[in-house]
Amino acid sequence: MGTSKPQGSLSKRTVWGSLELHIYQDASAVAGALAPDEPVILNRPRAAVRAARFFVERFPGKSLYAVKANPSPELLALLWDAGITHYDVASIAEVRLVRRVLPQATLCFMHPVKTASAIAEAYKVHGVRTFSLDSQEELDKIVAATAGDDGTAATDLSLCVRLRVSSDYSELSLAAKFGIDLADAAPLLQATRQVADCLGICFHVGSQAMTPFAYVQALERVRAAIVDASVTVDIVDVGGGFPSIYPGMEPPPLTDYFTVIHRAAESLPVSYSSELWCEPGRALCAEYNSLLVRVEKRRGDELYINDGAYGALFDAAHVGWRFPVKCLDRTRRSAPAEFAFYGPTCDDADFMKGPFVLPADIGPGDYIEIGMLGAYGAAMRTAFNGFGQAEAIDVADEPMASQYRGDWRDPRVSDNVVRLR
């Protein structure tokens, strides 16, 4: 099973040595030059920079990069250089990572359930001042963990109360786990106001939100929470969820999202100096990576490839996500056909049903590029069953799809796209 040649037949040295000499044009050039036995992650630095510039220039507020979507240090450095100054981190390991790679960055610890020691280290060692919470216990924990040695409370905290909102308009729900219900929010907002220098309200509409209406609806809930609690709010954080483009999922342009968020946020009863934040993960990095894999075996319409559910294809396996694919062997000219993929590990769960459309005569030895894997793809790799190593190589061509190229047209095909005034 899996690849037959011993590991090391493509040594790190060879790959990195050639990296110094070449920037490969595209996946075909990499496959042609290296004929890799292992999957290869392809980086597209320009695509990441373009996405970051788009958010920095067009989002009507501050954009925090949600690090969990792809914590690659190279990507973090690109985003920083493109103007992303704030980073949404969710674990102490992410705090340490971003602090090490970007010493000047502002870190916001936006996981609503943290350990006391993680809060204390973030505050005292890494200069984190912004935390999210969705319960009184978490508020108490933050206050205790950030107090001085003599017990005096911190006076420089920005605390964001996470509100539960609907995930109905998103492909991946984030509604069940975190967030306080609107009905219970007022006492928590008031208690948080007492101890916070800046009070924020945050939410997450779910990942890959297919319509801007998701944010309008969530911001209506924010309005109700503010009115109920009668508190002064300094930060409104609309979270992540900004979509990318995948087969069968073509969202409206991001500027539509920005326009409705701007309009809805402007009409909230918040202080004049309040700030609008967002926390894009997927939208900033989906286009950054694709994956080069090889077909090791074919059985009917099933292709056994050398990466899978425990590698970069977690969402393809577990959520049935379809990613764009391209056969790199130009001699394969037969009509397109639909295939499913098996990954390299020994269990049946390592299966991606697709369908993935590839030439009907594709076979063992052919290389396939799988696109749009920069978000929750490259970051999800495990070493299960001895697989999971992959070199990363820069390429120069365009990602398989892009919202940022300037020629992206609004499909308006989906029923759930609400037309805007």
Q: Which stretch binds ligand PLP (CB under 6 A): 22-30, 235-243, 297-305, 315-323?
A: 235-243
Out of 61, 241, 344, 371, name the contact with ligand PLP by CB under 6 A. 241
Q: Is 201 a binder of ligand PLP (CB under 6 A)?
A: no
Q: Is 251 a binder of ligand PLP (CB under 6 A)?
A: no
d(CA 396, CA 19): 13
Out of 239, 343, 344, 354, name the contact with ligand PLP by CB under 6 A. 239
Helix, strand, coil shares of the chain as percentages rounded to 5? 30, 20, 45
Instruction: CB nearer to ligand PLP: give 79 or 395.
Output: 79
Q: Is 39 a binder of ligand PLP (CB under 6 A)?
A: no
The answer to whether the Cα torsion of 107, 108, 111, 116 is positive or negative is: positive
Minimum Å gap between C-beta 58 and ligand PLP is 16
Instruction: CB nearer to ligand PLP: give 226 or 375.
Output: 375
Instruction: CB nearer to ligand PLP: give 139 or 292.
Output: 139
Helices (H), 106-204: 116-124, 136-145, 182-195
Helix H or strand E segment including 97: helix 92-101
d(CA 362, CA 364): 7
Contact letters for ligand PLP, residues 113-152 (x by CB under 6 A): ----------------------------------------
Instruction: CB nearer to ligand PLP: give 251 or 359.
Output: 251
d(CA 188, CA 13): 55
Find the binding residues for ligand PLP in span 43-72 (CB under 6 A): 66, 68-69
What DSSP assignment string belongs to 184-204? HHHHHHHHHHHH-SEEEEE--
Instruction: CB nearer to ligand PLP: give 241 or 359.
Output: 241
Please tell me the number of Cα atoms within 13 Å of 285 on its side-chain side: 31
Out of 80, 242, 323, 367, name the contact with ligand PLP by CB under 6 A. 242
- Write the CB contacts of 299 (distance below 8 Å, at least 6 apart in sequence): none
Q: Answer for the pair 217, 183: CB distance below 8 angstroms, yes or no.
A: no
- Write the CB contacts of 60 (distance below 8 Å, at least 6 apart in sequence): 258, 261, 262, 265, 276
Give the number of other CB atoms < 10 A from CB of residue 17. Answer: 11
Q: Is 94 a binder of ligand PLP (CB under 6 A)?
A: no
Helix H or strand E segment including 159: strand 158-162
Instruction: CB nearer to ligand PLP: give 238 or 368.
Output: 238
Instruction: CB nearer to ligand PLP: give 256 or 279.
Output: 279
DSSP β-bridge partners for residue 351: 342
Instruction: CB nearer to ligand PLP: give 110 or 139.
Output: 110
Find the binding residues for ligand PLP in span 357-386 (CB under 6 A): 375
First to last CA, the chain: 56
Instruction: CB nearer to ligand PLP: give 89 or 395.
Output: 89
Out of 45, 280, 324, 371, name the contact with ligand PLP by CB under 6 A. 280
Nearest residue relative to ligand PLP (C-beta): 240
Out of 99, 282, 294, 322, name the contact with ligand PLP by CB under 6 A. 282
Minimum Å gap between C-beta 162 and ligand PLP is 8
Count of residues near ligand PLP by CB under 6 A: 17
Out of 61, 251, 281, 324, name the contact with ligand PLP by CB under 6 A. 281
Out of 2, 240, 251, 252, name the contact with ligand PLP by CB under 6 A. 240
- Write the CB contacts of 266 (distance below 8 Å, at least 6 apart in sequence): none
Give the number of other CB atoms < 10 A from CB of residue 194. Answer: 11
- Write the CB contacts of 146 (distance below 8 Å, at least 6 apart in sequence): 119, 120, 123, 124, 153, 154, 157
Tell me the pairing of strands 235-237 and 198-202. parallel
**Would you tell me which residues interact with ligand PLP (CB under 6 A)?**
66, 68-69, 88, 110, 204, 207, 239-242, 279-283, 375
